[in-house]
Each structure stands twice: as C-alpha cells, then as structure tokens.
Amino acid sequence: MKLIFSCLWYLLPAALGNHNASCGNRLWIPGIFKRALAKMAVPIDGGNKWRGREILGKNKTWRGLLVGSITGVLVALAQALLYFNFDFFRQNTFIDYGKINFAVFGFLMGGGALVGDVVKSLIKRMLDKPSGKPWFPWDQLDWIMGAMILSSLVYIPSAKSAVVTAILYVGVHLCSDRAVVKMGIKTRKEVN
C-alpha cells in the first residue's frame, strides 16, 4: 500500500498538469490572467502542415503547455509543504524536497507531461492516425513517459517504482477520462 501511495504521489504534478492543460479555458482564474491565457491559445505548430495535415493539431497549444507546467509547479509546492510539515509525507514520498527544488521538479513534471503528449501527437500524425481517434496505450503512456523522462534530470525512480507508477496511472487516466466526460467537464473527443 505504501508503494502505491508513493507512486501516485510521485507523478501527481504531471497528472494534474496534464489534466489542467486541456482545461485551460475552463479553469477558475482572475480575469486578467484568463485574457492573457486566451491569447496563448494558439497551436504550437503555428498551424503549419506536413503532407497536407496539421503537424500537431489545433489542440496542442502554448496555453496548454504553460498551464500544465505551472500546475506542476503548484502541485510540487503543495507536496513540498506537506513533506516539510508532516512525517507521513516525508516517509511516503520518493522526492527529498530538502535536496530537490520543488519548482524545478514540478516544472519538469508538468512540462514533461505535455512534451510527451506533443511527441505522441507528432508520431500519430506521421503514422497517419486520425486526430482524436483513441490510440491505446499511447494516449495514456505519452504524458507519463514524458514526465518521467524530463524529470529524470533531477530524480530517477527505481525501475520497479517507474513500472508500478506507469501501470497505476494508465488505470487512473482511463477512469478519470470516463468520469470527466460523464460530468460534462470534457467531451469524449477531448479525452481520447
């Protein structure tokens, strides 16, 4: 049970960063920030095409990358505060926030999740897979692998922890996708 909690806790900045990236226009934030974020809702690929198709697609935006990265930092901040104030979190987390800067780790986690998603989208386009069409398990593993790879610049989990984390979050991702569709937060096409 300790390993399960630790694995879920470890990747939480990436999981919430990945989730919030696609909810950027629906997040509650002050109006001035909402207007600034709206201006960033442009495709990362600039709308350019390759072989007559979008390179990444209109849903991969600078706003999503920024929101996901900032979310990762905020979640890592909460984790660091809990780590420093409660023995439970110190004993059940992989990250030693006394040695690893929470902002760097959170940014790498949140940003890595989105970079993983962007890379998967590019590969999907190169393989002529239609945008929005489910591609199991890559739709679930893309952000997990991206977050783990990028955050490995500051922390490398054991092989066992990495595998358990990936398996757990594939399941969490599938369940949360169904839940947010049923609640009307996202459409089926948005969660592929």
pTM: 0.85
Residue with tokens 């198709």: 53
pLDDT in tens, 51-86: 777 777 777 888 889 999 999 999 999 999 999 999
Q: What per-residue confidence (pLDDT) applies to 179? A: 80
Residue 152 neighbours by CB distance under 10 Å: 13
Specify the pairing of strand 49-50 against strand 53-54.
antiparallel
What are the E-state strand segments in 63-174?
none
97: CB partners within 8 A, 6+ apart:
79, 80, 83, 84
Q: What per-residue confidence (pLDDT) applies to 191? A: 64
Q: Cα(74)–Cα(159) distance, rounded to whole angstroms?
A: 27
Report the domain count for the chain: 1
Block mean pLDDT (10 aa), the chain, length 192: 94 93 66 71 80 77 90 97 97 96 98 94 83 82 96 97 95 82 71 60
Q: What per-residue confidence (pLDDT) applies to 190? A: 60
Residue with tokens 């760097």: 104
| Domain around 87 | 2-191
DSSP line for 6-68:
HHHHHTHHHHHHHHHHTTTTTS---HHHHHHHHHT-SBTTTT-EETTEESS-TTSBHHHHHHH
Phi, psi of 49 (to 5 degrees): -120, 155
